Amino acid sequence: MIISEPAPIRTLDPINSDGNSQDAPVLTTVYETLAWTSPSGEVLPRLATEWSISEDRMTYTFHLRQGVRFHNGAEFTAQDVVYSVTRALTEGIPVVRQRARNLDSVTATDDHTVVFELREPSSAFLFEVADPTGSGFSSILTATAPTHGTVPVGTGPLRFVSHMPGSELVLEPNRDYWDPSVLPGYESLRIRIIEDEPDRVAALEAGEVALIGTDAIGVAAGLVRAPLLEVVGTPAWTIWLHASRTGTTRDGAVVRAAWLSLDREGLADIAFAGEAEPWSTSHPLLAYGQGPTELPGYQRDTEAAAQVLAEAGYEEGISLELLYPEEEGYPEAFFEILTASWSEAGIRVEPVPVDRTTWLARLITADYDLTVSRHGWYANPYRYLLPRPGWQAPPEEVLPELVQALADLATAGDEERADAFRRVQLLEAEHGYPSIGVVYVNKHHVYRTDLIADAAITGSVTGDRRDLYLSLVPTAQ
């Protein structure tokens, strides 16, 4: 089975990965996590069969699956969990260590039980352990095969064979895997790295590769009616708008008017050619997330927006800048529709493209009026709701009640999580802070039906290549 990925793998070692999708082919198939989070928000067993959380939300106890072996034959035990987590915390890149900032200790109480002790109460910690992308400290390694950066050894359903940096990765099914029912029918998987999109499409059309992915809606649209090709889209990218809540946008009326006059339908149908849907501050597949029809301020009302401005003293309207990173390649129509919808409410907005370095420097110091950002799927659904330090005025200044609402969400149990999540969504929607969801945009996979009989593309929404790679069913020759 030969498929293509658009970008080189940055690292084979989880502690050096910032969670970017380039590393997913190894992190999500060769390595495994104790548990995993589905797009619907469920946390499900993997290397752990069950777990418990103390009443004070400070102690997490995981009971591990027995009879599991690493690819080198070593037995999987609780000591491997301690080794992996400790190594990530002491040697990992800053973003890896930051994700475990609330972890005080990890201890193996016997060969198949591991205990995490936290510094502060949290229910959200479970989502860090259960991040299926393998980022942070969630991937489990073994000290018996220490060359993690060159020859990765995990417990996963696929085994590492070889890696030519920037060129290709070769994996094969792990025939000793603890759950043989999930193993694919091919003998090996060759993943070619083809960065140039026209070259990637040409390789697919020539039958040199069986599957490609693309973020370009125009490319996917051009292949829909091509013979022998199947095009499937999944909601992978969310577009967010942020107001700094400093300077001109310190006034909440300005922000409410801007959010009320958003034309999400136009953005979804025109800017993204129908390959997007209006959305809010959760992933569309999150079972307990509220979408735009359920939240205040998400239904377009330009008259109400104009009235909000007038009542705040802006009868002549107001002028704002929209800062954005030009490298992210938003469609030209995206900004045309945004500025047109805002102008109807009396908000004159000038899009200002800058390089990503400049954008980040201004973003983290709240040096902007409005800005736009793009994010993928988060294993931890709480992250959709959190204020980003520095991105805008802090919640203590803008929305003090959000602080307690987020604290309640962070310590909510399984039965309380959905209601606590929705309460935070409602509060943030009412005040348009710290950000507002605009649309979810599809990513596409295209595969040749003469080479692949079936592929569960929708699983790839998480950035987890496991479901995608294991689902590839070769067409009978």
44 and 175 co-located in one domain: yes
**CATH number for the domain harbouring residue 411:** 3.10.105.10
107 and 56 co-located in one domain: yes
Report the domain count for the chain.
Answer: 2
353 and 433 co-located in one domain: yes
* Gyration radius (Cα) of the chain, Å: 23
263 and 296 co-located in one domain: yes
Shortest CA distance to 268 belongs to which of 387, 99, 437, 421?
Answer: 437
Report pLDDT for 99.
Answer: 86
Instruction: Say if CB 145 and CB 18 are below 8 A apart.
Output: no
Report pLDDT for 141.
Answer: 97
Asked whether residue 29 is domain-assigned, the answer is yes
Q: Which two tokens stand for residue 410?
A: 């962070």
Asked whether residue 200 is domain-assigned, the answer is no
* One-letter amino acid for residue 125 of the chain: F
Asked whether residue 223 is domain-assigned, the answer is no
Report pLDDT for 477.
Answer: 61
Asked whether residue 215 is domain-assigned, the answer is no
Asked whether residue 195 is domain-assigned, the answer is no
Instruction: Say if CB 149 and CB 13 are below 8 A apart.
Output: yes
Asked whether residue 221 is domain-assigned, the answer is no
Asked whether residue 56 is domain-assigned, the answer is yes
263 and 407 co-located in one domain: yes
Asked whether residue 358 is domain-assigned, the answer is yes
51 and 152 co-located in one domain: yes
**CATH number for the domain harbouring residue 105:** 3.40.190.10
161 and 275 co-located in one domain: no
178 and 244 co-located in one domain: no
403 and 464 co-located in one domain: no
272 and 172 co-located in one domain: no
Report pLDDT for 459.
Answer: 67
158 and 18 co-located in one domain: yes
Angle at 286 between CA 284 and CA 289, to 5 degrees: 85
Per-residue pLDDT of the chain in tens (477 residues, 90 and over written 9): 999 999 899 999 999 998 777 899 999 999 999 999 998 999 999 999 999 999 999 999 999 999 999 999 999 999 999 999 999 999 999 989 988 899 999 999 999 999 999 999 999 999 999 998 888 899 999 999 989 999 999 999 999 999 999 999 999 999 999 999 999 999 999 999 999 999 999 999 999 999 998 888 888 889 998 999 999 988 888 999 999 999 999 999 999 999 999 999 999 999 999 999 999 999 998 999 999 999 999 999 999 999 999 999 999 999 999 999 998 889 989 999 999 999 999 999 999 999 999 999 999 999 999 999 998 888 889 999 999 989 999 999 999 999 999 999 999 988 899 999 999 999 999 999 999 999 999 989 999 999 999 998 776 777 778 989 999 999 986
Range of the domain at 164: 2-190+451-474
Handedness of CA 214, 219, 223, 224 (dihedral sign): positive
